Amino acid sequence: MGSINYSGFSLFNIHFPTKLVVHVEVNRLEKLNAFNRDTWTQLRDIFNLISIDPNVRVVILSGAGEKAFTSGLEISPKSMALLNGGDYEEERARFVTRRAIRDFQDSISAIENCLKPVIGLVHGIAFGLAIDILCATDIRICTSDVQFSVKEVDLALAADIGTLQRLPKVVKSLSWCKDVVYTARVFGAQEALEQGFVSKVAENKQKGFEDALELANVIAAKSPVAVQGSKHLINYSKDRTVQEGLEYTATWNAFAIGRDMKDAIAAALSKSKPRYGKL
């Protein structure tokens, strides 16, 4: 249970604003935080580490600078070659394309699979890949200046790393969802709030961070056994029948109920604040 070293990630700022809360910020300022391959590989590795880091209970994910959460996938010859099958030809190249998409999907899914809750803090430009990433976070807060766009259709592409799978399960209206997907139009904070895509709108990035941190601290004070279980079980159950979700949940809690519950009850009875071990 030694502490994990996050210093090797060149494209992200990683620090701990409070104990048990980590702030992960994509940092490619000159590119509006656009993602190249290294960015999504680092993203995956960071969230895989956080998932097992006992010193982290909650994550805040944002983009560096004033202008953008992220402008999306970087359009460079290298990124494109990857999607086009490299040295292979015809159907062989398409095997490679498929594999590249699967890899990229796994990077985004690392956020969802990370056992610690992730709060997405969004400001400025949040295009394409930004939406894929945000759909994989748990709770979303945005600033009033945010510009969202499911941009992929403007690249002549059906979004393939998560938006089409997760967005319809995250927001209120399928009609709205298809509207923003087919048109790739920009929408703002208010519309995102009405649709339930974000839970809160902050005046600016600084205020947004304060909101996110306050929420993170509340969650970080809870039993990590309860919070991590809740995240996993909601994600598991939303995709399955109620009966399957219930059976899996009973099996999960057969191992997850234990000392923390005793501590929580004891604290409640003594009107003290419970303190939970690391996980």
As a whole number of angstroms, the distance between CA 274 and CA 266 comes to 8
By CB under 8 A, residue 158 contacts its own copies:
yes
Query: Cβ closer to its own copies: 140 or 205?
Result: 140
Q: Which is nearer to its own copies, 37 or 185 (CB)?
A: 185
From the CB of 244, what's the least distance to its own copies, in Å? Answer: 8
Query: Least CB distance from residue 153 to its own copies, whole Å?
Result: 4
Identify which range of 7-15, 35-43, 62-70, 165-173 contacts its own copies by CB under 8 A: 165-173
For its own copies, which residue of 5, 242, 272, 275 counts as binding (CB under 8 A)? 242
Is 99 near its own copies (CB under 8 A)?
Answer: yes
Q: Which is nearer to its own copies, 7 or 242 (CB)?
A: 242
Site for its own copies in 118-137 (CB under 8 A): none
Within 8-47, the residues that bind its own copies by CB under 8 A are: none
Nearer to its own copies (CB atom), residue 11 or residue 127: 127
Q: How far apart (Å, rounded) are the C-alpha atoms in residues 147 and 136?
A: 18
Number of residues that bind its own copies (CB under 8 A): 111
